[in-house]
Structure 1
Amino acid sequence: MITIEYIHITVHGRVQGVGFRQYTKKQADRLGITGTVENVSDYVEIYIDRNCNRIDEFLTSVKKGPSPFSKVNDIKIEHGETNDYFTSFDII
């Protein structure tokens, strides 16, 4: 069985109702990053394949946010492993 390494990112701040998930998907697609993004309670949760290239550039864009109406206050990054893998970047 193959184990896939992933990065789990939680983004807190004004990140719901401002197009944050769509923006995140656009950035991930542009950079060739696979994973998921979804709204959870009062934050956004992102999972990406750790083996993707350009992760630093992706994180920089996430920290910036989609517009002046969004505001990222805090980002937490954790690493993990799974038997599942991502084939695209999806909004959940």
Structure 2
Amino acid sequence: MDMGHVLAEVHVYGRVQGVFFRQFTKNTAQELGIAGYARNLPDGCVQVLAEGPKQSVEILLQRLRVGPPMSCVDSLGVEWKQASGEFTGFVIRR
């Protein structure tokens, strides 16, 4: 795995379910060449695991802070982890 690759586990809080947030995340991640997934959690937040070049992941985080038009992001919780290379693409998990 390239040393410039990182893995970010992100929890996005606010009005982020039922507003196409996961699809927005998937589209943005694919555009940036980031692998991982987005899924809704029972507490109302969206969990995103994003793996790729650090610069690309940071761009994704900036875009997640804004979100798609109908969303309202209150905060992002980000935990940086060691890149694992386990993801081959970006998917929406149920």
Provide the identity percentage: 33
Cα offset, 1:83, TM superposition: 5.1
Partner Cα separation in structure 1 for residue 59 and residue 7 of structure 2: 16
Partner of 1:56: 58
Paired letter, 2:72: K
How big is the alpha-carbon RMSD for the aligned residues of Structure 1 and Structure 2? 1.8
Equivalent positions of 1:1-92 (< 5 A) are: 6-41=7-42, 42-51=44-53, 53-67=55-69, 69-81=70-82, 85-92=86-93
Partner SS for 2:29 = helix
Secondary structure of residue in 2 paired with 1:54: helix
Quote the Cα distance in structure 2 between the aligned partners of 1:53 and 1:85.
19
What is the identity, as a one-letter code, of the residue corresponding to 1:75?
L
Cα 1:82–1:57 change in 2 (3 A) is closer
State how many pairs are aligned: 88
Question: What are structure 1's unaligned runs of at least 5 residues?
Answer: none
Aligned equivalents of 2:58, 2:85: Cα separation in 1: 23
Shift of 1:54: 1.3
CA 29–20 in structure 1, closer or farther in 2 if over 3 Å, else same: same
Which stretch shows the higher mean deviation, 53-62 or 25-34? 53-62
CA distance in 1, matches of 2:89, 2:83: 16
Structure 2 residue runs of 5 or longer lacking an equivalent are none
Alignment check: 8 A CA contact 1:34 1:52 kept = no
Query: What is the CA-CA distance between 1:51 and the residue it aligns to?
Result: 3.8
Relative to the length of structure 1, the TM-score reads 0.85
| 1:5 shift after superposition | 5.0
